Amino acid sequence: MHFDDYQRYDALGLADLVRRGEVHPSELLDAALVRADATASLNAIVMRLDDSARARTQAPFDPSAPFAGVPFLVKDLFQDLKGLPSSGGCRALKNVPVPEDADVVRRWREAGLVIFGKTNTPEFGAKNVTEPLAWGPARNPWDPTRTPGGSSGGSAAAVASGIVPVAGANDGGGSIRIPAAACGLFGLKAGRGRISMGPMMGEALNGAAVQGVVSHSVRDTAAMLDVLQGPEAHAPYHMPAPEVPYRKCLERPPGRLRIGYSTHSPIGTPVDPQAIAAVADAAALLTDLGHHVEPCDTPFNGVQLAEDFLLAWFCAQAVIIDHIERTHGASRNDFEADTRLMAAIGRRTSALQLLQCEARWHEHNLALSTFHAQYDLWLSPTLAAPPPLIGSLATPPALAMVSDVAARLGLAGWLSDTPQFKQTVLSNLGWTPYTQLANLTGRPAMSVPLYRTPEGLPLGVQFVGPLNGEAQLLQLASQLEAARPWHQPLSAIAA
């Protein structure tokens, strides 16, 4: 199959070609590998599994499998392949094999996907850009000097550059929606409990982190959610199955929705005029489609939510690092300085402080439920600005040196209270102040690629839905995709 033909299809379209005998899975894999080689400078893939993938294409495929024979990439974080490392962007884990497949990996294989690699991610997914020291930065296919976002930046770069039509991702603070918005893709974060994080864990970040994908087409994401959703015996809980499969629900229009929108940063940081223009453009399109759209107040206390999000993340980093040091004998130098500082702040957090923080998560949930009593969806920018340049959000060297010394001396608490540290944190979170709401409240949310800047950079908009609102989000996304098709192949990109 010629690459231009390969890139014309979404994943369901490729599977249909396999099902009809018009193309063999080995041809699809060849096309994907050629494209991966041609775009290697994007550093989207950090582990290649060409041989096992080729063997997989020669095995019989279940013709009823929705993605039979389609090439696929998994994220190198929480999407474990038995017997292979899951580095999570960390040098300490680059050569440590895992004992079991993740539930999502098993389900992807059962769905017929051909996994041929793992994608780049920041260390433990803790940043909104993908620039780990373990692998180097991933780059945005639309402008390789810029970030594809994070933490699923490698997956987004792989899909946007045409290596695969859909790839594994996960989202603990925006990590599906941020790179989708930065790379011109569709990204849905499912609600808490919809998809298993097992079997190696019950839930990640108290349920704030969920598994999923980034894709070109809404129907691919809907079909992927059908594959991934549903109970596992070891899961702590699960959401009830939808009345009809998500892919089937796309046949229904969303109806006339009441949508409230706001654009100012919830934490008071600057918002680029292009991000505001992206929301205005979406609001106009939604109005043309018959929806009721009006400005509203931001439906949560942004500063408090940001503090509660970060405190939980810092504690999570401490747990992760302590586990790796205990289990694998890693040293402090095996972890990035920023991660060590986050962990040091997490260690000094008392149980009382953490429990108070987690109790406030419900306050944010109450605020959002009050909003949803009036509006079906909240619309906002996904990003407060176009994708920044590689390295521009890195911790300044002087602060990195001070933070490392402070962490060694047990002074992380003092440093975390300084204006310089708080400004650095706000500067990083200021690019993505809208996405954490859906994670802390466990609500579904999506980034839709409706807008591009005058320079041609993607800049998505976000919709946050109510409890069990995945079907409604997908129906609206399908309507928007039909009204303004967004897939723009990047076949001309050079290595």
Q: Is the dihedral of CA 66, 248, 473, 237 positive or negative?
A: negative
Among residues 74, 79, 87, 77, the alpha carbon closest in space to that of 45 is found at: 74
Strand partners for 229: 195
Distance, in Å, from the CA atom of 161 to the CA atom of 146, rounded to the nearest integer, reads 14
**163, two tokens:** 């290596």
DSSP for residue 110? H
CB neighbourhood size of 206 (10 A): 18
CB neighbourhood size of 297 (10 A): 9
Q: For strands 114-119 and 445-448, give the pairing.
A: unpaired
Q: Active site residue: 152, 175, 215, 478, which one?
A: 175
Residue in the structure block whose two tokens are 């603070």:
173
Contact 452, 458 (CB under 8 A): yes
Distances (CA, A) of 386 to 71, 160, 448, 460: 30, 16, 14, 9
Q: Active site residue: 86, 118, 127, 151, which one?
A: 151
Q: Is 431 helix (H, G, I), strand (E, B) or coil?
A: coil
Q: Could you confirm whether 175 is annotated as catalytic?
A: yes
Q: Could you confirm whether 82 is annotated as catalytic?
A: no
Q: What is the b/e burial string over 357-373, where b = at least 16 CB atoms within 10 angstroms of the residue's CB? A: beebbeebbebbeebbe
**Could you give the residue numbers annotated as active site?**
75, 151, 175
